[in-house]
Amino acid sequence: MKNKPSSLGSRPHPKARPPAKAAAKPVAKATPHPESGERIQKILARGGIGSRREIERWITEGRLKINGITATLGTRLHTGDHLQVNDRTVNWEKFAEPPTRVLLYHKPTGEVVTRRDPEGRPIVFRRLPLLAVGRWIAVGRLDINTSGLLLLTNNGELANRLMHPSTEVEREYAVRILGHVADETLAILQEGVHLEDGLAKFDQIHYTGGEGANKWYNVIVTEGRNRLVRRLWESQNAIVSRLMRVRYGPVVLPDSLRTGAVYEINDKELQLLFEFAGMGKAEVE
């Protein structure tokens, strides 16, 4: 498994669109705050606004202002500061210094990983403990018909690192296939299949048993493309009758975690996850 630190170039936050072009004019520069404050990029990354490097780029482009003055890379935020990104006010204080928390949720089929669903279907986030500060961020998604391990955290940078394509984090799934699968088909799935969004493959496939017409396989991918596992099997006319994620990176779905239940990792486990993600010491209570 590859786990190289990433540059974290996720898409800009929808509230941080580039402003309309205007005639060039001199802009004031904010004097960096004393060392007692916290860096802008750290706070906004924690809140899931963007990665640290992405936010640093916004700062160098002059897109952030503190108390009406253009920020610099050395600027720190203090209680009461008014922060704007592309002239839009950001309530940054709700992201300030909350301890990092990570949940393991055993998602059942029939639930959707979204904050609002116009169809009124059950939503994952309604099953989670409430946060006094910040919000839960899902590390990747599972579609409505896929069950198993879903990681959630209140730390935006940790979520970005675990999801970014350059980290190539392994996702392992248990798949139940209806009917026989030929060895030639398994070989094709590991060599690569051209899907509508590009070439894809399973990095590993392991037969794990089965009775009657149902056969179980464990497959590993290092991409988070939408419905990738299901689409790969269906490209070979294989019928997926059950799909369950059992591992994300170093985190394995506990056998004791029943469907619909939540487990919060402890400080030691959190530190190991930070090390896996190439981050420093975890901030815990």
- Residues annotated as catalytic are 143
Q: Which DSSP helix (H) or strand (E) runs through 61?
A: none
Where would I find the beta strands (DSSP E) of 116-178? Answer: 137-139, 147-153, 171-178
Count Cβ atoms below 10 Å from residue 183 Cβ, excluding itself: 7
Q: Which secondary-structure segment (H or E) carries 234?
A: helix 228-235
Neighbours of 158 (CB within 10 A): 25
Interior/surface letters 68-103, b for 16+ CB within 10 angstroms, e for the rest: eebbbeebbbeeebebbbbeeebebbebbebebbbb
d(CA 255, CA 283): 28
Q: Is 64 helix (H, G, I), strand (E, B) or coil?
A: strand
Q: Return the number of other C-beta atoms located less than 10 Å from residue 54's C-beta.
A: 21
